[in-house]
Structure 1
Amino acid sequence: MKYLVVTGGAGFIGANVVKRLNELGEEAIIIVDNLGSSEKWKNLVDLRFEDYIHKNKFIDDIKSGLFKNSVKAIIHLGARSSTTEKDVEFLMENNYEYTKTLAIWSIENNARFIYASSAATYGDGSLGFSDNHSLILSLRPLNAYGYSKQIFDCWALRNGLLDKVVGLKYFNVYGPREGHKGDMRSMVLKAYEQIKRDGKIRLFKSYNPNYRDGEQLRDFIYVKDAVDMTLFFLEHADKNGIFNVGTGIPRSWNDLANSVFSALGMKPNIEYIDMPEVLRGKYQYYTKADISKIKSAGYDAETISLEEAVRDYVINYLEKGIFS
């Protein structure tokens, strides 16, 4: 038997990937993660998989040859994803070196390798949001997390790996199974919680004269679309390189907030608050995934609109207390 390995398989995108694989009839799955004392274990309760392995043991098993000839693909979504993480050495070991080890092993063992890069690699967006390989070395991330992703993309490019593996630059993903993420929860979930607690949503004021309060723009993508884009590359092993995972349609924070209120049948009530000083110099006012490359690769499904996706998330998950 050959397994599908999903690292970060108890996390947000990873657990949704495993859920979709189960729906497609796949159960020969090994989940790799670090549950620690978090609530991530709740994401596993309805999933079907062969085994759970701690991330440290898995990398040791890989190096020892234990999984030789028994892995069909590694979908590497495990990482420290906090954009405020200050321990850069940890990020380099956990996000960069770990990914290098898995990538090299996958190529040497003829296993498909799909890994999570990040839209955080685009920094302030001044160079645009194209996933063209010629731009990779020029990007300047605004935080250490983004840099830990960027440096692997650069390493893969310099070492000729991008015609053998797939890197996915996820934009602002939201949806069920993100409740364990703390401050990194999506604004959809935070907005829902704020409405339930206070009857209103708080958004950061704009400090850029080109954007009114709440009109800062993001490419928000529902996790169900992000999963479909991810698994497209599992099905199409001839498609390699770095690809954006987004909608290509930037929407404002006000749009998002209004969508949550609408899903709950409530009149919008938005309060604009000061942005912490530590974030002001690192804040992205605009993101828009250029998805022409993934479309050219053959992915032709339409993404779910913000309003429809938020409604599905709120009504079918958050209101029911399911995988919030």
Structure 2
Amino acid sequence: MIAVTGAAGFIGSCFVRTLNEQGYNDILIVDSFEQDDRWNNLVTKKFRGIEHPEVFKRKCSEGIYDAHDISALIHMGACSSTTERNAEYLLENNYRYSIAMAQFALAHDIPFIYASSAATYGAGENGYDDVSVSGLRPLNMYGYSKQLFDEWIIGNGLEQSVTGIKFFNVFGPNEYHKGDMASMIFKSWKQVHAQGHISLFASDIAEYPDGGQMRDFIYVKDACKVMWNILQSKQSHGIINLGTGKARAWNDLAHAVFKALGKQSDIRYVSMPDSLKGQYQYYTQAVMNKLQSSSSAHRFMELEDSISDYVVNHLEQSTTRYY
């Protein structure tokens, strides 16, 4: 049985879909269901059972679960809010819980794949190369909580026994419950329907024009295919980047949304909130050498094609909105 933490969330639920598509239904859903709509992400999925994260952790620590029960542990569960200010909450959910999951997987010699984040790179002053995690300066507590766990892995000599995935800007179906943390593609689609235009942050740096700030956007379907490749390879990949390796501007994103909707572009620029200044990444681009030189290499969709698929086949549909 494959255990997936955060399985009702965005990436976790899409990976459960990928497992189902590969004919694998022997899955344990590990997640908590709050007062949001994430339960919709599981409606069409096939799995064996559901457990609360704390119950799962207790069963792992007490020896109720072992390698006969759990064949792989995919740890996507975390607080993913980059604006969360409760440091203790982030440490408990993103650091200490992750340690417990890693200790269980390693003690029973089962594959452990976990979610790190490109937020660990901060403003990118040391680049975006996944060769080393030392010297990185995250811009927020979320990124720091992820960095701490990466450093725990390396400090304990475990990098070659696990796969940690530094996700860059992931977007796609099943992110609808994320509120402010949903992708700009989803927010842009909502803006076009509500007001006919898309609002982007104006730039505070002369190097970047308004809407010219750049991100490495990756479609969740591509991300899940890579995760499947890693799981199937039965090899640990260490801590690796997962973007496309190609930075694109926010303006490109907005134009692609309008094109997918068959509308003329209408982009407007607004001032960045003070709360984001000093924490805002103006440029991210994953160095993909580690992944693309491995057995799990993948050819990624172009941004325009992935946005078209998301908008046309999911956001604009009622029966296939969820993936």
Note whether the superposition's TM-score is higher than 0.5.
yes
Letter in 1 for 2:152: W
What secondary structure, in the 3-state scheme, does the structure 1 residue paired with 2:19 have? helix
Q: After the TM superposition, which segments of 4 or more aligned residues of structure 1 sit over 6 Å from their partners? A: none
What is the deviation of 1:305? 0.4
Aligned runs of 1:28-43 on 2, under 5 Å? 28-43=26-41
1:248 paired to 2:250: no
Aligned runs of 1:184-195 on 2, under 5 Å? 184-195=181-192
Contact residue 195 and residue 201 of structure 1 kept, 8 A = yes
Letter in 1 for 2:36: S
In structure 1, C-alpha distance between the alignment counterparts of 2:230 and 2:301, rounded to whole Å: 20
Q: 1:62: which partner in 2?
A: 60
State how many pairs are aligned.
320
Letter in 1 for 2:78: A
In structure 1, C-alpha distance between the alignment counterparts of 2:103 and 2:64, rounded to whole Å: 15
**Normalising by the residue count of structure 1, what TM-score does the alignment of the two structures yield?**
0.97
Aligned-pair Cα RMSD in Å = 0.9
What is the deviation of 1:103? 0.4
What secondary structure, in the 3-state scheme, does the structure 2 residue paired with 1:74 have? strand
Aligned runs of 1:105-254 on 2, under 5 Å? 105-133=104-132, 136-254=133-251
Letter in 2 for 1:28: D
Q: 2:86: which partner in 1?
A: 87
What secondary structure, in the 3-state scheme, does the structure 2 residue paired with 1:278 have? coil
In structure 2, C-alpha distance between the alignment counterparts of 1:198 and 1:115, rounded to whole Å: 39
In structure 2, C-alpha distance between the alignment counterparts of 1:291 and 1:298, rounded to whole Å: 13
Q: 1:72: which partner in 2?
A: 71
What secondary structure, in the 3-state scheme, does the structure 2 residue paired with 1:304 have? coil
Unpaired segments of 5 or more residues in structure 1?
none
Unpaired segments of 5 or more residues in structure 2?
none
What is the deviation of 1:240? 2.5
**Normalising by the residue count of structure 2, what TM-score does the alignment of the two structures yield?**
0.98
Q: 1:53: which partner in 2?
A: 51
What is the deviation of 1:143? 0.3
Contact residue 3 and residue 74 of structure 2 kept, 8 A = yes
**Does 54-63 or 174-183 show the bigger shift?**
54-63
CA displacement 1:166-197 (0-9 Å, x = unmatched):
10000000000000001000000000000000
In structure 1, C-alpha distance between the alignment counterparts of 2:239 and 2:66, rounded to whole Å: 26
* Percent identity of paired positions between Structure 1 and Structure 2: 47
What is the deviation of 1:56? 1.2
What secondary structure, in the 3-state scheme, does the structure 2 residue paired with 1:249 have? coil
Q: 1:263: which partner in 2?
A: 260
